[in-house]
A and B are shown apart, each in its own frame.
Chain A
Amino acid sequence: MTEVRNPFADPLRFERRVPECAIVIFGAAGDLAKRKLLPALYRLAYDRRLPASFAIVGNSRTPMSDEEYRQRMHDAVKQFSEDGALDEDLWKRFAANLHYVAGDVKDPQLYVALREKLNTIGQANVLFYLSTQPSYYEVIVDGIGHSHLSAAPEGAWRRLIVEKPFGHDLASAKELNSRIHAVFREEDTYRIDHYLGKETVQNILALRFGNGIFEPLWNRRYVNQVQITAAESIGVEGRGGYYQEAGALRDMIQNHLLQVMATVAMEPSAVFEPDAVRDERAKLLRSIKIMRPEEVDQYAVAGQYKGFRQEPGVNPDAQTDTYAAGTFFVDNWRWAGVPFFIRSGKKLPKRVTDIAIQFNQAPLALFRSGDGEEKPRPNLLILRIQPEEGISLLFLSKEPGSGMRLRPVSMDFNYGTSFGERSPSAYETLLVDAMVGDPTLYTRQDMVEASWTVIQPILENWNNRRFDFPNYDSGTWGPSEADAMIAKLGRQWRNS
């Protein structure tokens, strides 16, 4: 369908309209739906971003009436909405278009029932959201295909959102891609990585390519190293069963953190259009040097906190990595030789996700730092993703008084105080993008496969060995091997 330009558009004043459509959520009684999806959709309705006829069809195995499902989701939205109390009048209007179809995703009758429900609702545009256990993805996609629910009427669309994990290794990711493509075209497939929907991750692009001062420094001549940290202070919190199959490498690094790394290190695209931006991200992911098997022990570290094996649902002999760290290099002219250290773990001292870009020190140490260190501290540009979103630049300043003693000081930009207005949650952003057909912040097949390719040698090594777990205490920054890994390259973690 040819898109006609809207002559009344005024993007400075109002957002593009979400087209009339329905979203079918598989796994609609699950945690993700309750904590993220329904609160995000309700908030979009609150912000008048959804058309009046927008409909939600939830599916899970639990038998429930529409009314029972609405009540459950009412309670969930009330509990998990990030800001503000639930507006009961608005909820009534919102819930009127909230439907439920019970059924097993393996049962072909479910898809017949979904078709009938969609016909009753009368929406031609349909977004399918896979929010179930990953093992059901292929079954559901097959079910949608066999029932022809993926076939849109003339001028309408059918799209698919797939939650992570997208496969559990390279082979399974390829297999899943192949099964999806038998039913949905790549341009109708939206692989969600909610990190890419975070305002602060999007702001990395704004910082790099909207300002003139950073990009000239953004290369191997000036950058000494990059550290990407995603730390959680909590453990698996009842998700032990899922987590012991995933682990930190699969759960965080393969998807979120490699995508963040790609955003930090990619080349600028010629235009800010979905495929142009995604091409650059994909190129960067393909440029990451693949570890040789004998290099894995040198460049990757697994850890497990003490007490993980005693968590409910966890195998007492589990080899799961609740901590993973890796050293990655990018084989291109911009980044050759610059180490990217990535780590993620549970039960670390605090919850923080940030990217620290450490610059080379001044070529000549004119001044000694105040605490008598031989070398002054390097400049750091810190992009804070959570919890306090913002950007800090650390540089040296003269201490007041006589003499020339230097002390590091921080220049801070805080998102919350510079832009008082509320930032949309990642799921609000990404759901709207999928509904209006903008895949910029979604991962593409080649990006997923490239990031699995990076991780695959580590997975193969770790799958074929027995670790001496547990190897770190709760409340510490992970196993000592991670410190040793980075120390071999003359660096140390920024544990602050």
Chain B
Amino acid sequence: MSTTTAVQPERILKDLQQLWAQMAVDQADSGGVLRACAMTLVVVAENASDADLVRQTVGVLMHNHPSRAVILRPSGDGGGAADLDARIFAECWKPFGKSQQICSEGIEITAGRGGYAEVAKFLVPLRVPDLPVVLWCRGTHVLASAAESGLLEPLFPLADKIIFDTSQVADADSALQFLRRLRGRGRRVADLHWTRLTGWREVLAHLFDDHALRPDEVKSAQVTFGGPSVTTCARYFADWIRTALPGVKVGIAADASSASGDGPGGIRSATLSTASDNLTIALGENHCLEVSGCGRHYRSLLPSESEDALMQEELGILGPDLVYERVLTA
């Protein structure tokens, strides 16, 4: 369900109220609708067709993180405030076994890339009061815009958390420097390429829960990746090990046998070496990790890397993410 409206925040909010009132009437026979909202999720789409994908992903995310979604759809090259247009919509779903629908609301704003300063002004009244605001800058171009042109700068102060995805960047170091700069300015940032590491990190952490080896036994560590250049994922993994085991030498190396990284972030393996043994976690077949060494030999299935699964994880963390911040600033 959606309607088009001009970009006047008061008008949009009024239209949303009418939308809810109408839905309550339409669904009266099945117990009305339940309006759910736990945050404002602002998504900057890469382009117009990407905005359609975003809408689908947001629909999935709302089941676990009901929000007022604000999707910013670029209108084309350049452009500014004059191109602004908006429409509202509701995403509804029916929980298993229930007759009442749960609905969250959304606003799609079409704007030229030059119009984000104007959009930021509109976003202030469109935020749900007193609830967190998450800004999701989707795709490589959006990240490049943010890093190089500063086009997204007006949006950053509105957000409690800003989510990027560095998976496609050509220069990992520059991307990380940009995130560090933002963090240094007090912005809470996240990177879906860090989120992709969770499966690897969990397997490694569990080896220490299981006492496969003790932290003080580790003498050195090595992370290998496939592909032509080091990824932010590989950097994160190495820095995570380095911050967890201060004093341990941690190397990053390209895996010569692998032309491209087909695992999360191109990671091929991680090896922790003790004085007498090597404990290796390596990417195996069927999206599995193979653990070997220090008396262990087993496989573990990696979690889903779909964009909505990664976003679900990030939206579940709205406070400080101390581990990531420590790694980012290492």
Interface residues of A (CB under 8 A from B): 4, 6-10, 12-14, 16-17, 19-20, 48, 51-53, 83, 414, 416-421
Contacts and interface: CB of A to CB of B under 8 A. Distances in A.
Given A8-B201, A8-B244, 10 more contacts: A4-B214, A4-B215, A8-B204, A8-B208, A9-B209, A12-B321, A12-B323, A13-B313, A17-B206, A420-B66
A464 B64 CA distance: 54
Contact of A12 (B245, B299, B301, B317): B317
B235 interface: no
16 contacts: A4-B211, A4-B214, A6-B209, A8-B201, A8-B204, A10-B201, A12-B317, A13-B201, A13-B317, A14-B202, A14-B205, A48-B301, A52-B300, A83-B96, A417-B36, A421-B64
Interface string B61-100: 0111110000000000000000000000000000110000
B214 A14 contact: no
A418 B38 contact: yes
Nearest to A13: B198
A14 B303 CA distance: 11
Nearest to B34: A417
Contacts of B102: 417
Interface string B163-203: 00000000000000000000000000000000000100110
Chain B, interface SS category: mixed
B208 A19 contact: no
Nearest to B240: A8
B205 A10 contact: yes
A16 B36 contact: no
Nearest to B61: A420
A378 to B, nearest CB: 27
Interface of B: 34, 36, 38, 62-66, 95-96, 102, 198, 201-202, 204-206, 208-211, 214-215, 240, 244-245, 298-301, 303, 312-313, 316-317, 321, 323
Nearest to A10: B323
B245 A7 contact: yes
Interface of A is mostly: loop
Contacts of A421: 64, 312, 316
B201 A17 contact: no
A7 B303 CA distance: 22
Contacts of B245: 7
Given A13-B313, A14-B198, A48-B301, A8 B66 contact: no
B66 A7 contact: no
B208 to A, nearest CB: 4
Contact of A414 (B34, B298, B303, B321): B34
Contact of B65 (A14, A19, A420): A420
Contacts of B240: 8
B66 A9 contact: no
B253 to A, nearest CB: 21
Nearest to A48: B301
A8 B211 CA distance: 12
Nearest to B321: A12
A20 B215 CA distance: 19
B201 A14 contact: yes
B20 to A, nearest CB: 15
